[in-house]
Amino acid sequence: MELCDLDAWTLSSMLQEGKTTSRRITESVLHRLEEREPVTNAFITVTRDLALAHADRADERIRSGKRRSPLDGIPVALKDNLCTRGTPTTCGSRILEGYVPPYDATAVQRILEAGCVPVGKTNLDEFAMGSSTENSAAGPSRNPHDPERVTGGSSGGSAAAVASGETIVALGSDTGGSVRQPAAYCGVCGIKPTYGRISRYGLVAFASSLDQIGCLGRTVKDCALVLNAVCGHDRKDSTSAAFPVPDFLEAVGRGLDGVRIGVPTEYSVAGLDAGIRARIPAPCPSTT
C-alpha cells in the first residue's frame, strides 16, 4: 500500500512519530495523480510546485516542534468554486477562464492555516449546477472504481480524487447533495454540515440560502479532522453561526443510544433501483 492510499488520521500519526514526511506523502499523492488523471479527470488545476513548497514548510514545522494541527502536512484538494489567492478559480466554466482571485475563501484560509498541503482545484459541474460532474468545461470526471460510471456531483472531482488517492482529504460544496451524493458514488465519507457552521465567504454561490461547504475523506475521523479546522464564526459571512465549535473527533465512534432519526415514510424517487429501495428502512427500529 502506498502512502497516498492511507487515511489522514494514520498519516497524521506517522508524521507525528517521524515515520514519514509531508514531502513523501505529497510526492506519493502527486505521482498517483499523474497516473490516474487521464482516467478520472478529477482536477482542473494541479498546483504541484505550490504543494511541494507547502510540504517542505510543514516538515520544517514538525521537525522544530511547531506543528499547527493534526492536519499539518496532509494533502488537500479544493473544489474549484472556492476562491484561492494566486490560483485560478473557474467553477468549471469558460466564463471564468483566466480568473485568479486576490483572496482565499475563509474555509481555504483555515485549512491552509491548519497546515494542509494544497495539491489543486477539483472538477465540478459548471457553477456546481449538476449532479454528475459531466457538465464541466474541463470535461467529465469519471468514477475511479469504474470509469464507465459517473462520480456524482457536483463535487465529483473532490470525491474521485479522495477515492483514487490523488489527495488525502478534500473540500467541496453542497446545495442539494453535492458532497453527499458523490461521496456515496465513489465510496468515501462526505458531510454537509449544518448551515452556518462553515463560512461561505469566498464560495462562488449557487443558492446562498442552501449552499454549504463540506468535506470529504476516507473515514469519518478524517472528516472530523477537517471540520475541526474549518468550522467557526466568520464576520465576513453574515449567515455564519456564532456558536462554539466542539471537538468533532470526540463524537467519532459514539453510540446512537437515545438518538432520534426521522425517516419519511412516503419518500420515493421515480425509477429508483429496487436494490436501493429495499435498503431504505421503513420504519427504523427504536434505538432506545
Q: Which is nearest to 160 in space by CA: 80, 150, 68? A: 150
Give dist(CA 206, CA 213) in Å, integer: 12
Order of all β-strands in the sheet with 117-122: 43-46, 117-122, 75-79, 169-174, 212-217, 189-191
Give dist(CA 165, CA 168) in Å, integer: 6
**Predicted confidence (pLDDT) per residue in 118-167, tens digit:** 999 999 999 999 999 999 999 999 999 999 999 999 999 999 999 999 99
Residue type, 260: R
What is the DSSP annotation of 185-232?
HHT-EEE-PPTTSS--TTBPPS-TTT-EEEEEESSHHHHHHHHHHH-S
Q: Catalytic residues, which ones? A: 79, 154, 178
Residue type, 269: V
- In angstroms, the Cα distances linking 100 to 77, 104, 265 are 17, 10, 47
**Whether residue 178 has a cis bond before it, omega within 30° of 0:** no
**Whether residue 283 has a cis bond before it, omega within 30° of 0:** yes
The confidence band for 282, taking pLDDT boundaries of 50, 70 and 90, is low
DSSP helix/strand/coil, 63: helix
Domain ranges of the chain: 3-254
Going by C-beta distance under 8 Å and a sequence separation of 6 or more, which residues neighbour residue 117?
22, 25, 26, 51, 54, 55, 58, 73, 74, 75, 76
Residue 100 has pLDDT above 70, yes or no: yes
Q: Which residue has the cell 492511507?
A: 6
Q: Which is nearest to 235 in space by CA: 201, 193, 195? A: 201
DSSP helix/strand/coil, 45: strand
Give the whole-number percent of the chain exceeding pLDDT 90: 87
Q: Partners of 79 in the beta sheet?
A: 122
Residue 129 confidence (pLDDT): 97
**Predicted confidence (pLDDT) per residue in 265-276, tens digit:** 666 677 878 887
Residue 141 confidence (pLDDT): 99
Average pLDDT, the chain: 95
Going by C-beta distance under 8 Å and a sequence separation of 6 or more, which residues neighbour residue 11?
3, 20, 25, 73, 74, 168
pTM: 0.93
CATH architecture group of domain 3-254: Alpha-Beta Complex (3.90)
